[in-house]
A = this chain, B = another copy of it.
Amino acid sequence: TEKSVLVPIANGSEEMEAVIMIDVLRRAGADVTVASVENDLQVTASRGVKLVADRSIGECTEQTFDLVVLPGGMPGAERLRDCAELKEITQKQAARKALYGAICAAPAVALHSWGLLDGKISTAHPAFSDKLPDTSAVEQRVVRDGTVLTSRGPGTAMEYALALVEQLYGKEKAEAVAGPMVMR
């Protein structure tokens, strides 16, 4: 069964994190919507890579997703945080106990600002992890607490994307996706 995933992007999003999540989830068979929180569909990511979203975030507010996951990068994570539509979509996701997550700067900057990490164990980029409400597992590369998954940076993004695949489709699918990518 096809799972639907929302990956929002902004000017200043970390392009490796965004693209690794989109690509790996699509390899698993997910229907991934890349949504811009900017006025334009085209954004300029943190290291100048120009990405074109599939849709504007405003077109995604009526849809229900199996997973909503935010890339990091600065100021991208702040621009995601400041998007009212994305905040509402992600809060709705949490309220209905569906999967959501973020990597790098985004757990602290976006999810935590929205109150979505309270009482949750999480991680983030080392430069942001002291801002999390529960820092007991920040050294782990991928942290899951119930329906929230968080991770640390570009170097953990592939493991993180595979952990998201495992949550949506199971361990066997995650291993099938990892194989041809030459992970180890």
Q: Which residues of B contact A183 (CB under 8 A)?
A: 155
A181 close to chain B: CB less than 8 A = yes
Please measure, in the bound complex, the distance between the C-alpha atom of A184 and the C-alpha atom of B126, giving whole angstroms.
Answer: 12
Known A51-B51, A127-B180, A155-B184; 13 more pairs at CB < 8 Å: A15-B23, A16-B23, A22-B49, A23-B49, A26-B47, A27-B47, A42-B52, A50-B53, A50-B54, A126-B180, A126-B182, A153-B180, A156-B182
- By a CB distance below 8 angstroms, the chain B residues around A26 are 47-48
CA distance A126 to B179 in the complex (A): 10
Number of A interface residues at 8 Å Cβ cutoff, please give it: 39
The answer to whether residues A51 and B50 also contact, given A16-B23, A19-B15, A178-B155 and a CB cut-off of 8 A, is yes
